[in-house]
Amino acid sequence: MEIVRTISHLRHAVGQWRAAGDRVALVPTMGALHAGHIGLVGAALSMADKVVVSIFVNPTQFAPHEDLDRYPRDEAGDVGKLAGAGAHLVWAPAVSEIYPDGFATRIVPEGAALPLEGAFRPHHFGGVATVVCKLILSALPDVALFGEKDFQQLAVIRQMVRDLALPVAIQGVPTVREDDGLALSSRNAYLSENDRYIAPMLYKAISEVARGRDPREAAEALIAAGFARVDYIDVRDAETLAPFVPGSGRPGRVLAAAWLGKTRLIDNVGF
Ligand code: PAF
């Protein structure tokens, strides 16, 4: 498995595959890989001949008070996992490769980016959209895969690809969970033993809302269980993320974000 750092090396490798008629998949990640990421690689291998995994902790999607500095990083461990999973190339650019001196362009997504995470982290999806656009235009894959764990992110990326006519297919992949229901996330590494014990309550709460429980009651249950704060539990249209209209016959999604100590967890389920 090859490891490259620059856009020109990446384009050279992908260009050779394309010239040979291979279909190419991109799995964008911020590293600290877990079984959810490995599932994305597995899905990518089932859809493409060659799989590129990017590892880049994107500074522009973190606000100054957020966890950029302590975000878990383990490139050697990640590379070992990706080799074992059958990826063909790891692209691990430096910050200066993605944001060279003088970088001054930013995508500002609206629509699906505005509610929920957009209300609590107003800077976030601009950073995600900008970097994902650059990752896609650098690798020029046939398909890019993203986990449904970040369901709003997936909706924002689909919206961007549609609006800007980016020549790539976007594939969402279902969330991987621990046996007790907790969604796998690199940030689970922050949880204390006690927080880890309480954390699966989030999945239980949103599953109950998907079955018809009042979201306010579910939020109260999370606070009673030991969560410090609930940013939101909301029922939305699964495609537009507009408020869900009961009886519309459209697919719905329950999305939530809540704090356990200093760790912010997000999760979602469909119904
Ligand atoms: O989901 C993530 O890991 C990141 O938001 C992404 C899509 C790699 C962009 O930095």
Instruction: Determine what percent of the chain is predicted with pLDDT higher than 90.
Output: 100
pLDDT at residue number 241: 95
Q: What is the pLDDT of residue 2?
A: 97
203-235 pLDDT, tens digit each? 999 999 999 999 999 999 999 999 999 999 999
Where are the CATH 3.30.1300.10 domain residues in the chain?
186-270
Q: In CATH, which superfamily holds the domain spanning 2-173? A: HUPs (3.40.50.620)
Residues of the chain with CATH 3.40.50.620: 2-173
Percent of the chain with pLDDT over 70: 100
How high does pLDDT run on average in the chain? 97
Is position 37 annotated as part of the catalytic site?
Answer: yes
pTM of the shown model: 0.97
pLDDT band at 79 (very low <50, low <70, confident <90, very high): very high
Q: Give the architecture-level CATH label for domain 186-270.
A: 2-Layer Sandwich (3.30)
Question: Closest residue (by CA) to atom 2 of ligand 1?
Answer: 29
pLDDT tens sequence across 238-264: 999 999 999 999 999 999 999 999 999
Instruction: Report angle CA 156, 49, 51 to the nearest 5 degrees.
Output: 50
Question: Using CA positions, which residue lies closest to atom 5 of ligand 1?
Answer: 128
Phi, psi of 205 (to 5 degrees): -65, -45
Candidate list 9, 34, 37, 124, residue with the active-site label: 37
In angstroms, what is the span from residue 153 Cα to ligand 1's centroid?
8
pLDDT confidence of residue 65:
93
- pLDDT per residue as tens digits for the range 134-157: 999 999 999 999 999 999 999 999
